[in-house]
């Protein structure tokens, strides 16, 4: 980490932390190993983040924000939204591992919970409006429908870690299955 730019150092720390937390979780992550990945001293990590838990929250918040930007939700395109989620998950397996560790280790409270709640609130509101207008199914509540869509998009990435080794044809077939399943799920 030769850069003297504080923002570049912070980004390098966040990138290294994503890899470390994805591999080892919060409890298993080590600041000295993380610092080595970032090319800095362990002390510098604490200059930017007061604790390992705060660093995890910063990484998780960044992932939530990035995912929200890369996969914006449109009630008229929920099947494609699921496909986009699947694409992102297969392209970034560390993000899926981080999410799994978050589920296993995170306590209630924390800013990462707030980031998820905020991101999901906007998605739920979008789905609810479309349901109220009759554009998509109301067989499930908006929160239930969102969780069904997210879990459908994640079904292979959560089951088989080797998903990133898919060839283009198999990836396309699985993506098409996800898109079709969500299309059927949301059709009025």
Domain boundaries, the chain: 1-49, 56-186
State yes or no: pLDDT of 38 exceeds 80. Answer: yes
Q: What pLDDT does residue 109 have?
A: 54
Q: What number does CATH give the domain 56-186? A: 1.10.357.10
State yes or no: pLDDT of 111 exceeds 70. Answer: no
pLDDT digits 0-9 by tens, 115-152 = 677 778 989 999 999 999 999 999 999 999 999 999 99
Per-residue confidence band for 70, with pLDDT thresholds at 50, 70 and 90: confident
State yes or no: pLDDT of 93 exceeds 90. Answer: no
Q: What pLDDT does residue 41 have?
A: 92
State yes or no: pLDDT of 166 exceeds 90. Answer: no
Asked if 95 and 62 touch (Cβ cutoff 8 Å), the reply is no
Dihedral of CA 97/184/84/166: which sign? positive
Region 13-24: mean pLDDT is: 94
Q: What pLDDT does residue 81 have?
A: 96
State yes or no: pLDDT of 108 exceeds 60. Answer: no
Instruction: Enter the DSSP assignment of 139.
Output: S
Q: What number does CATH give the domain 1-49? A: 1.10.10.60
- 3-state SS of the chain: helix, strand, coil percent to 5? 80, 0, 20
Q: Which residue has the higher pLDDT, 123 or 158?
A: 123
Q: What pLDDT does residue 18 have?
A: 94
Region 83-97: mean pLDDT is: 89
Q: What pLDDT does residue 119 have?
A: 77
State yes or no: pLDDT of 35 exceeds 60. Answer: yes
**C-alpha span between 156 and 36 (Å, rounded):** 32
């Amino acid at each position: 980490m030769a850069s003297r730019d504080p923002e570049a150092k912070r980004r390098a720390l966040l990138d290294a932390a994503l890899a470390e937390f994805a591999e080892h979780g919060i409890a298993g992550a080590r600041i000295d190993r993380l610092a080595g990945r970032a090319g800095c001293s362990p002390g510098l990590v604490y200059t930017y983040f007061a604790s390992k838990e705060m660093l995890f929250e910063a990484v998780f918040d960044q992932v939530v924000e990035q995912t929200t930007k890369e996969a914006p939700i449109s009630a008229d395109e929920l099947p494609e939204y699921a496909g986009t989620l699947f694409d992102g998950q297969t392209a970034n397996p560390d993000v899926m591992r981080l999410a799994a560790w978050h589920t296993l280790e995170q306590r209630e409270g924390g800013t990462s919970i707030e980031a998820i709640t905020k991101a999901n609130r906007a998605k739920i509101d979008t789905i609810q409006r479309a349901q109220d207008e009759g554009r998509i199914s109301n067989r499930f509540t908006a929160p239930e429908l969102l969780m069904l869509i997210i879990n459908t998009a994640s079904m292979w990435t959560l089951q088989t870690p080797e998903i990133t080794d898919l060839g283009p044809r198999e990836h396309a077939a699985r993506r098409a299955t996800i898109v079709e399943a969500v299309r059927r799920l949301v059709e009025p």
